[in-house]
Amino acid sequence: MKKTWITVILLISAASWAPAQTVRWVKGNTHAHTRNSDGNETPRRVMRWYQDYGYNFLVITDHDMMTETASLDSDKNDDFILIPGLEITRSMDKLRVHVNALNPKRPVAASVVGQTVAQTLQNSIDAARTAGAIPQINHPNWRWSLTAEDLKGLSGVHLFELLNINRDSNNFAAGGQPGTEELWDALLSQGLAFYGVASDDAHDYLGDFFPDKAYPGKGWVLVRVSELTPEAVCAALDKGDFYASTGVELADVSVTKNSYSLAIKSLGDTAYTTLFIGKEGKVLKKEFGLNPSYSFAGDELYVRAKVISSAGEMAFCQPVFIKK
Ligand SMILES: [Zn+2]
Ligand SMILES: [Zn+2]
Protein backbone atom coordinates (compact mmCIF):
# COMPACT_ATOMS: atom_id res chain seq x y z
CA MET A 1 0.00 0.00 0.00
CA LYS A 2 2.72 2.36 1.05
CA LYS A 3 4.67 1.50 -2.08
CA THR A 4 1.69 2.37 -4.31
CA TRP A 5 1.43 5.81 -2.75
CA ILE A 6 5.10 6.44 -3.30
CA THR A 7 4.68 5.48 -6.96
CA VAL A 8 1.76 7.90 -7.35
CA ILE A 9 3.72 10.71 -5.71
CA LEU A 10 6.71 10.03 -7.98
CA LEU A 11 4.51 10.13 -11.06
CA ILE A 12 2.94 13.44 -10.03
CA SER A 13 6.37 14.86 -9.28
CA ALA A 14 7.78 13.76 -12.62
CA ALA A 15 4.88 15.41 -14.43
CA SER A 16 5.28 18.70 -12.60
CA TRP A 17 9.03 18.74 -13.19
CA ALA A 18 8.77 18.24 -16.95
CA PRO A 19 10.18 21.38 -18.61
CA ALA A 20 7.56 23.61 -20.27
CA GLN A 21 7.91 23.76 -24.05
CA THR A 22 8.73 27.39 -24.67
CA VAL A 23 8.42 28.64 -28.20
CA ARG A 24 11.39 30.81 -29.15
CA TRP A 25 13.40 32.09 -32.10
CA VAL A 26 16.67 30.29 -32.76
CA LYS A 27 19.38 31.73 -34.99
CA GLY A 28 21.10 29.66 -37.64
CA ASN A 29 22.94 29.44 -40.92
CA THR A 30 21.86 26.85 -43.48
CA HIS A 31 24.87 27.09 -45.80
CA ALA A 32 28.58 26.85 -44.93
CA HIS A 33 31.66 25.13 -46.33
CA THR A 34 34.72 23.62 -44.68
CA ARG A 35 38.07 22.30 -45.88
CA ASN A 36 36.21 19.14 -46.88
CA SER A 37 35.23 21.10 -49.99
CA ASP A 38 36.27 24.67 -50.84
CA GLY A 39 36.12 26.31 -47.41
CA ASN A 40 39.37 27.29 -45.71
CA GLU A 41 38.80 26.00 -42.17
CA THR A 42 38.26 22.66 -40.47
CA PRO A 43 34.73 21.57 -39.56
CA ARG A 44 35.57 22.01 -35.88
CA ARG A 45 36.71 25.62 -36.29
CA VAL A 46 33.75 26.45 -38.52
CA MET A 47 31.40 25.07 -35.90
CA ARG A 48 33.23 26.99 -33.19
CA TRP A 49 32.89 30.25 -35.12
CA TYR A 50 29.09 29.99 -35.29
CA GLN A 51 28.75 28.77 -31.73
CA ASP A 52 31.01 31.52 -30.37
CA TYR A 53 29.03 34.22 -32.18
CA GLY A 54 25.71 33.27 -30.66
CA TYR A 55 24.15 31.04 -33.27
CA ASN A 56 21.95 28.15 -32.16
CA PHE A 57 22.41 25.96 -35.22
CA LEU A 58 24.57 25.45 -38.28
CA VAL A 59 24.22 23.26 -41.34
CA ILE A 60 27.60 22.40 -42.84
CA THR A 61 26.96 21.95 -46.55
CA ASP A 62 30.11 20.84 -48.32
CA HIS A 63 29.85 20.16 -52.05
CA ASP A 64 28.36 16.72 -52.71
CA MET A 65 29.65 15.26 -49.46
CA MET A 66 28.39 14.85 -45.94
CA THR A 67 30.86 16.26 -43.49
CA GLU A 68 31.03 14.04 -40.44
CA THR A 69 30.04 16.00 -37.34
CA ALA A 70 29.57 13.41 -34.58
CA SER A 71 33.18 13.85 -33.48
CA LEU A 72 32.52 17.57 -32.86
CA ASP A 73 29.91 16.89 -30.16
CA SER A 74 32.43 17.31 -27.35
CA ASP A 75 32.95 20.98 -28.36
CA LYS A 76 29.27 21.92 -28.44
CA ASN A 77 27.45 23.86 -25.75
CA ASP A 78 23.89 22.98 -24.68
CA ASP A 79 22.22 25.63 -26.82
CA PHE A 80 23.81 24.79 -30.16
CA ILE A 81 23.23 21.99 -32.65
CA LEU A 82 24.82 20.89 -35.90
CA ILE A 83 22.32 19.79 -38.54
CA PRO A 84 23.69 17.38 -41.15
CA GLY A 85 23.71 18.60 -44.72
CA LEU A 86 25.39 18.87 -48.09
CA GLU A 87 25.21 21.01 -51.20
CA ILE A 88 24.12 19.07 -54.30
CA THR A 89 26.35 20.73 -56.89
CA ARG A 90 25.54 20.53 -60.58
CA SER A 91 26.76 22.57 -63.56
CA MET A 92 25.20 23.13 -66.96
CA ASP A 93 27.86 24.87 -69.05
CA LYS A 94 28.31 28.21 -67.32
CA LEU A 95 25.15 27.85 -65.22
CA ARG A 96 25.21 26.58 -61.63
CA VAL A 97 22.39 24.49 -60.18
CA HIS A 98 23.06 24.05 -56.47
CA VAL A 99 20.55 22.67 -53.97
CA ASN A 100 21.19 22.14 -50.27
CA ALA A 101 19.91 18.97 -48.65
CA LEU A 102 19.20 19.85 -45.01
CA ASN A 103 19.13 17.03 -42.46
CA PRO A 104 19.10 13.94 -44.70
CA LYS A 105 18.26 10.69 -42.95
CA ARG A 106 19.93 8.55 -45.59
CA PRO A 107 22.77 9.08 -48.10
CA VAL A 108 21.79 11.56 -50.82
CA ALA A 109 21.96 9.84 -54.22
CA ALA A 110 23.86 11.66 -56.97
CA SER A 111 21.30 13.63 -58.97
CA VAL A 112 21.37 13.56 -62.75
CA VAL A 113 21.87 16.66 -64.89
CA GLY A 114 18.72 17.02 -67.00
CA GLN A 115 18.02 18.50 -70.41
CA THR A 116 16.91 21.77 -68.82
CA VAL A 117 17.80 23.77 -65.73
CA ALA A 118 14.31 23.00 -64.36
CA GLN A 119 14.90 19.24 -64.77
CA THR A 120 18.28 19.42 -63.08
CA LEU A 121 16.73 21.38 -60.22
CA GLN A 122 13.86 18.90 -59.85
CA ASN A 123 16.26 15.93 -59.92
CA SER A 124 18.29 17.52 -57.12
CA ILE A 125 15.18 18.39 -55.09
CA ASP A 126 13.93 14.81 -55.51
CA ALA A 127 17.33 13.41 -54.43
CA ALA A 128 17.13 15.52 -51.26
CA ARG A 129 13.54 14.53 -50.48
CA THR A 130 14.20 10.85 -51.18
CA ALA A 131 16.97 11.00 -48.57
CA GLY A 132 14.50 12.53 -46.07
CA ALA A 133 16.09 15.99 -46.36
CA ILE A 134 14.60 19.46 -46.79
CA PRO A 135 15.78 21.03 -50.09
CA GLN A 136 16.95 24.65 -50.38
CA ILE A 137 17.62 26.20 -53.79
CA ASN A 138 20.85 28.19 -53.59
CA HIS A 139 22.02 31.51 -55.07
CA PRO A 140 19.58 31.66 -58.03
CA ASN A 141 21.29 34.74 -59.49
CA TRP A 142 24.85 33.44 -59.36
CA ARG A 143 25.87 33.56 -63.03
CA TRP A 144 22.20 34.45 -63.58
CA SER A 145 21.57 30.71 -63.51
CA LEU A 146 17.94 30.35 -62.39
CA THR A 147 14.85 32.25 -63.53
CA ALA A 148 11.24 32.32 -62.32
CA GLU A 149 10.44 30.27 -65.42
CA ASP A 150 12.87 27.55 -64.23
CA LEU A 151 11.38 27.52 -60.72
CA LYS A 152 7.66 27.82 -61.34
CA GLY A 153 6.98 24.18 -62.22
CA LEU A 154 9.02 22.63 -59.39
CA SER A 155 7.47 20.42 -56.75
CA GLY A 156 8.64 19.44 -53.29
CA VAL A 157 10.52 22.65 -52.53
CA HIS A 158 9.75 25.79 -50.55
CA LEU A 159 13.14 27.22 -49.55
CA PHE A 160 15.30 29.37 -51.74
CA GLU A 161 18.15 31.76 -51.04
CA LEU A 162 16.74 35.23 -51.19
CA LEU A 163 20.05 36.54 -49.85
CA ASN A 164 23.24 34.56 -50.36
CA ILE A 165 25.92 36.75 -48.86
CA ASN A 166 28.56 36.25 -51.52
CA ARG A 167 29.75 39.00 -53.80
CA ASP A 168 28.81 37.10 -56.95
CA SER A 169 25.28 36.16 -55.89
CA ASN A 170 23.64 39.20 -57.52
CA ASN A 171 20.89 39.45 -54.92
CA PHE A 172 19.80 42.91 -55.96
CA ALA A 173 18.19 44.17 -59.15
CA ALA A 174 20.51 46.23 -61.35
CA GLY A 175 21.43 46.68 -64.99
CA GLY A 176 18.02 45.50 -66.13
CA GLN A 177 18.43 42.16 -64.36
CA PRO A 178 15.88 41.11 -61.71
CA GLY A 179 17.02 40.74 -58.11
CA THR A 180 16.08 37.70 -56.06
CA GLU A 181 13.24 39.67 -54.46
CA GLU A 182 11.64 40.20 -57.90
CA LEU A 183 12.12 36.50 -58.59
CA TRP A 184 10.35 35.75 -55.29
CA ASP A 185 7.36 37.98 -56.06
CA ALA A 186 7.06 36.48 -59.54
CA LEU A 187 6.73 33.03 -57.97
CA LEU A 188 4.43 34.13 -55.15
CA SER A 189 2.21 35.94 -57.66
CA GLN A 190 1.57 32.56 -59.25
CA GLY A 191 0.42 31.22 -55.89
CA LEU A 192 3.62 29.24 -55.27
CA ALA A 193 4.72 28.99 -51.62
CA PHE A 194 8.40 29.87 -51.68
CA TYR A 195 10.12 31.04 -48.50
CA GLY A 196 13.17 33.31 -48.54
CA VAL A 197 16.34 32.30 -46.70
CA ALA A 198 19.38 34.46 -45.94
CA SER A 199 22.62 32.52 -45.61
CA ASP A 200 26.36 33.09 -45.52
CA ASP A 201 27.47 30.37 -47.94
CA ALA A 202 30.62 30.91 -45.90
CA HIS A 203 33.96 29.77 -47.29
CA ASP A 204 36.50 32.11 -45.72
CA TYR A 205 37.09 32.16 -41.97
CA LEU A 206 40.61 33.46 -41.62
CA GLY A 207 39.88 37.15 -41.12
CA ASP A 208 41.80 38.61 -44.05
CA PHE A 209 38.92 41.02 -44.84
CA PHE A 210 38.83 41.21 -48.63
CA PRO A 211 35.56 42.35 -50.21
CA ASP A 212 35.31 39.35 -52.52
CA LYS A 213 35.62 36.73 -49.75
CA ALA A 214 32.66 34.80 -48.32
CA TYR A 215 32.79 35.41 -44.57
CA PRO A 216 30.49 34.07 -41.87
CA GLY A 217 27.98 36.13 -39.91
CA LYS A 218 26.35 38.25 -42.62
CA GLY A 219 22.99 36.62 -43.33
CA TRP A 220 20.98 34.16 -41.26
CA VAL A 221 17.54 32.83 -40.38
CA LEU A 222 15.62 33.01 -37.13
CA VAL A 223 13.38 30.00 -36.80
CA ARG A 224 10.45 29.60 -34.41
CA VAL A 225 10.68 26.30 -32.54
CA SER A 226 9.64 24.78 -29.23
CA GLU A 227 12.74 22.59 -29.06
CA LEU A 228 16.24 22.86 -30.50
CA THR A 229 16.49 19.70 -32.62
CA PRO A 230 17.35 19.19 -36.31
CA GLU A 231 13.83 17.87 -36.90
CA ALA A 232 12.07 20.84 -35.27
CA VAL A 233 14.27 23.42 -37.03
CA CYS A 234 13.90 21.79 -40.45
CA ALA A 235 10.13 21.31 -40.08
CA ALA A 236 9.72 25.00 -39.18
CA LEU A 237 11.91 26.04 -42.13
CA ASP A 238 9.94 23.89 -44.56
CA LYS A 239 6.62 25.43 -43.50
CA GLY A 240 7.94 29.01 -43.50
CA ASP A 241 7.92 29.61 -39.75
CA PHE A 242 11.03 31.76 -39.82
CA TYR A 243 12.40 35.05 -41.08
CA ALA A 244 15.60 35.97 -42.89
CA SER A 245 17.83 38.70 -41.50
CA THR A 246 20.99 40.68 -42.11
CA GLY A 247 20.75 42.43 -38.74
CA VAL A 248 17.17 43.45 -37.99
CA GLU A 249 15.87 41.44 -35.06
CA LEU A 250 12.21 40.81 -34.35
CA ALA A 251 10.61 40.04 -31.00
CA ASP A 252 7.53 38.65 -32.69
CA VAL A 253 5.85 37.93 -36.01
CA SER A 254 2.12 37.52 -35.59
CA VAL A 255 -0.35 36.49 -38.26
CA THR A 256 -4.05 36.23 -37.47
CA LYS A 257 -7.10 35.83 -39.70
CA ASN A 258 -7.23 39.60 -40.01
CA SER A 259 -3.73 40.99 -39.80
CA TYR A 260 0.05 40.64 -40.14
CA SER A 261 1.98 42.35 -37.32
CA LEU A 262 5.63 42.63 -36.31
CA ALA A 263 7.40 43.65 -33.12
CA ILE A 264 10.86 44.98 -33.97
CA LYS A 265 13.62 44.94 -31.33
CA SER A 266 14.96 48.43 -30.86
CA LEU A 267 18.72 48.96 -31.19
CA GLY A 268 20.09 52.36 -30.13
CA ASP A 269 19.00 55.18 -32.42
CA THR A 270 18.31 52.90 -35.36
CA ALA A 271 15.14 53.79 -37.27
CA TYR A 272 12.93 51.28 -39.09
CA THR A 273 10.63 51.22 -42.09
CA THR A 274 8.41 48.24 -42.76
CA LEU A 275 6.91 47.47 -46.14
CA PHE A 276 3.98 45.10 -46.45
CA ILE A 277 4.20 43.69 -49.96
CA GLY A 278 1.66 41.86 -52.10
CA LYS A 279 1.08 40.55 -55.61
CA GLU A 280 3.69 41.52 -58.25
CA GLY A 281 5.77 43.09 -55.49
CA LYS A 282 3.33 45.94 -54.93
CA VAL A 283 3.83 47.85 -51.67
CA LEU A 284 0.48 47.64 -49.88
CA LYS A 285 1.50 49.66 -46.84
CA LYS A 286 4.58 51.46 -45.56
CA GLU A 287 4.91 52.04 -41.83
CA PHE A 288 7.57 53.51 -39.51
CA GLY A 289 8.29 52.44 -35.94
CA LEU A 290 8.67 49.25 -33.95
CA ASN A 291 5.16 47.79 -34.19
CA PRO A 292 4.00 47.80 -37.80
CA SER A 293 0.77 46.06 -38.65
CA TYR A 294 -1.26 45.39 -41.78
CA SER A 295 -4.97 44.52 -41.94
CA PHE A 296 -5.86 42.13 -44.73
CA ALA A 297 -8.30 43.43 -47.33
CA GLY A 298 -8.98 39.90 -48.58
CA ASP A 299 -8.00 40.23 -52.22
CA GLU A 300 -4.19 40.49 -51.91
CA LEU A 301 -3.38 36.86 -52.86
CA TYR A 302 -0.39 37.09 -50.50
CA VAL A 303 1.19 39.50 -48.04
CA ARG A 304 4.78 39.50 -46.84
CA ALA A 305 6.71 41.97 -44.69
CA LYS A 306 10.14 43.52 -45.24
CA VAL A 307 11.90 45.65 -42.63
CA ILE A 308 14.69 48.07 -43.58
CA SER A 309 16.77 49.82 -40.94
CA SER A 310 18.70 53.07 -41.06
CA ALA A 311 21.82 50.90 -40.69
CA GLY A 312 21.05 49.24 -44.01
CA GLU A 313 20.09 45.97 -42.34
CA MET A 314 17.00 44.04 -43.34
CA ALA A 315 14.55 41.40 -42.25
CA PHE A 316 12.32 39.48 -44.63
CA CYS A 317 9.24 37.77 -43.21
CA GLN A 318 7.53 34.99 -45.08
CA PRO A 319 4.43 35.33 -47.24
CA VAL A 320 0.97 34.55 -45.98
CA PHE A 321 -1.50 33.50 -48.64
CA ILE A 322 -4.90 35.11 -48.18
CA LYS A 323 -7.82 32.75 -48.49
CA LYS A 324 -10.95 34.64 -49.38
ZN1 LIG B 1 26.65 26.84 -54.36
ZN1 LIG C 1 27.85 26.77 -51.16
Domain ranges (residues) in the chain: 18-246, 248-324
The pLDDT assigned to 208 comes to 81
What pLDDT does residue 210 have? 86
Parallel/antiparallel/unpaired status of strands 57-60 and 81-83: parallel
CA of 32 to the centre of ligand 2 (A): 6
Q: What is the pLDDT of residues 151-188, one digit of tens each?
A: 999 999 999 999 999 999 999 999 999 999 999 999 99
- Residue 156 Cα to ligand 2 middle (Å): 21
Cα of 85 vs centre of ligand 2, distance in Å, is 11
- DSSP of 26-48, one letter per residue? EEEEEEE--TTTT-SS-HHHHHH
Q: Give the ligand whose atoms come closest to the C-alpha of residue 39.
A: 2
pLDDT of residue 10: 40
Query: CATH topology of 18-246 equal to that of 248-324?
Result: no
Cα 88 to ligand 2 centre (Å): 9
CB atoms < 10 A from the CB of 315, how many? 24
CB-neighbour burial class of residue 198 (10 A; exposed 0-12, middle 13-18, buried 19+) = buried
78 Cα: distance to centroid of ligand 2 (angstroms): 27
Alpha-carbon separation of residue 307 from 30, 239, 283, 288 (angstroms): 21, 21, 12, 9
Q: How far is CA 13 from the centre of its chain?
A: 39
What ligand is nearest to the CA atom of residue 29? 2
Which ligand is in closest contact with the Cα of 168? 1
Pick the CATH number of 18-246 from 3.40.50.620, 3.30.1240.10, 3.40.50.300, 3.20.20.140: 3.20.20.140
The pLDDT value given to residue 2? 43
Contact 152, 187 (CB under 8 A): yes
- Grouped pLDDT means (10 residues each) for the chain, 324 residues: 41 47 94 97 97 98 96 94 98 97 97 97 98 98 97 98 95 96 98 98 90 92 98 98 98 97 97 98 98 97 98 98 85
CATH 2.60.40 fits 248-324, yes or no: yes
The ligand whose atoms approach the alpha carbon of 200 most closely is: 2
CA of residue 43 to ligand 2 center, whole Å: 14
Distances (CA, A) of 268 to 96, 150, 252, 306: 41, 43, 19, 20
* Cα separation, 107 vs 127, whole angstroms: 9
